[in-house]
Amino acid sequence: MLLRTINNQRLNFLLGVALVFLPTMLSAAGTQNEKTNTWTLASPDGRCAISVFLGEEGALSYQVQFEEKEVIGKSPLGLRRDDQDFTHGLTFERAGKIEHRREKYELFAAGNPQVDHVLNHRSLVFRNANHAAMEIELAAGGEGVAFRYLFTEKARDVHVMQAESTGFAISPEARGWLQPYHAAGPYTPAYEDFYFHV
């Protein structure tokens, strides 16, 4: 999910803390507050932001905002591999520097095939009770935000993801455009249906 230089004079968004939002002034692209275990990355234009939280029991969650409004409420993060659990008991290790990247590429089929995005990127590294590391890479651009899980430690072993805790807390009043659900079959889901306003 992609979400958008932040003006230091204005309040850009609210960070969720126990479902109570506290006003926070942002720096050029992001903030971090290790005392409250909160890290925020905003897009170059400041419209989109993603915040990651580390709870008291070592569980991760995130929140997404667009133009200071909550798009995704505080939602869980985490994975469980066949050999390690990254859903709770995590501790913060380090946060990478905020990097500005330009992504230019061409789509094979689209009304506007030339893609040219400027994004802010940042990585957060956490360790579980066994000192195994999990990295979460954040990206924030003018049209949205994204995150992904990474395991960068070198190992020859092959591991299987057994469960994923990632959630999406969306308001019941939210509006969007979705495709209907299709049961798995020889030709479905093909993601070729119409989008409906819901």
List the domains of the chain with CATH numbers. Answer: 13-173 (2.70.98.10)
Close Cβ partners of 190 (under 8 Å, ≥ 6 residues apart)? 182
The three-state secondary structure class of 27 is coil
pLDDT at residue 37 tops 60: yes
Task: Say what the pLDDT of residue 2 is.
Answer: 31
Task: Say what the pLDDT of residue 176 is.
Answer: 87
Residue 17: band (very low, low, confident or very high) from pLDDT cuts 50, 70, 90:
very low
pLDDT at residue 149 tops 80: yes
Residue 33: band (very low, low, confident or very high) from pLDDT cuts 50, 70, 90:
low
Task: Say what the pLDDT of residue 110 is.
Answer: 73
Q: Is 54 exposed, middle or buried (0-12, 13-18, 19+ CB in 10 A)?
A: buried
Per-residue model confidence as pLDDT tens digits over 67-95:
999 999 999 999 999 999 999 999 999 99
Q: Is the peptide bond before 189 cis (omega within 30 degrees of 0)?
A: yes
Span 108-115, average pLDDT: 83
pLDDT at residue 8 tops 50: no
Q: How far apart are CA 50 and CA 43, in angstroms?
A: 9
Task: Say what the pLDDT of residue 24 is.
Answer: 32
Sign of CA pseudo-dihedral 12, 16, 21, 24 = negative
User: Which token pair is 95?
Assistant: 């946060």
pLDDT at residue 96 tops 50: yes
Residues pairing with 73 in the sheet: 169
DSSP 45: T
User: Which token pair is 61?
Assistant: 């969650």
Pairing of strands 20-24, 13-17: antiparallel
Contact 150/135 with Cβ under 8 angstroms?
yes
Task: Say what the pLDDT of residue 53 is.
Answer: 98
pLDDT at residue 57 tops 60: yes
| 56 membership: H or E segment, kind and range | none
